Amino acid sequence: MIGGLMVPRLVVWCLSLFLSKGCPATATTIGTTATTGIVVGITCSSLAFWVVCPIFSMATNAFDTIITNHGAVVGGVLACVTVKASMTGYYHMVMLPIIILQMEEGGSMSFFGMLDMLALVMVSAGICLASAIKPRASGEDLNALRGLRINLGWGDYVEACYPYMERDWVVMLGAYIGAFLGGTVAGVTHAKATAYGSLTFHSDRLYNVVDISQCPVIHICR
């Protein structure tokens, strides 16, 4: 966010500076790009190292303590919040950065990554499977099967289930109940995972392989 605010102002300032010095267009472009990248990179890296990381480290430790003491309730509530955030467009803005920061801090997997898998991916897969088995409209089964395939194969495209959720309040309620139960299990077991991944971890050890085709070794062998 800070970098995004800095870039346009720096670009305008650099362009004005280089052009006022009589630099040709190519040199102006290269100089503006390099200067902007260096300044923004150093500024954001410094803020991340000295401000963001220490704060998030303390927050992560506090969160781990809360999960240890109240895992079932906290996990279930956060899973429902995850569903709502995904449906309202806040997933990539909030959830993904938290997952990445948790993995960086803990050196392994993320609890929010597990919520992504249980509350979003598996719930979407269940709804798509039900819609494929009993479609309500022509062609709905094909769309649902496509969503199911991507859900289970790639851990992605969770929005495939949103039309079915918004169409029927029972499906919507079932999705939140499923997410809550999944979050409760994650909170009780302290399970961790990655977003868009296939390896589920429990206490930093391999717990279950959802889709072996996503393992890095498999892709290297291909």
Per-residue pLDDT at 161 exceeds 70: yes
Query: Domain of 75?
Result: 2-221
The more confidently predicted of residues 205 and 72 is: 72
Which of 161, 185, 157 lies closest to 71, judged by CA? Answer: 185
Average pLDDT over residues 66-77: 84
Q: Cα–Cα distance between 149 and 24 in angstroms, integer?
A: 53
Per-residue pLDDT at 49 exceeds 60: yes
Q: Is the dihedral of CA 208, 102, 104, 61 positive or negative?
A: negative
The more confidently predicted of residues 98 and 207 is: 98
Domains of the chain: total: 1
Q: How many CB atoms lie within 10 A of CB 148?
A: 22
Rounded to two decimals, the pTM is 0.64
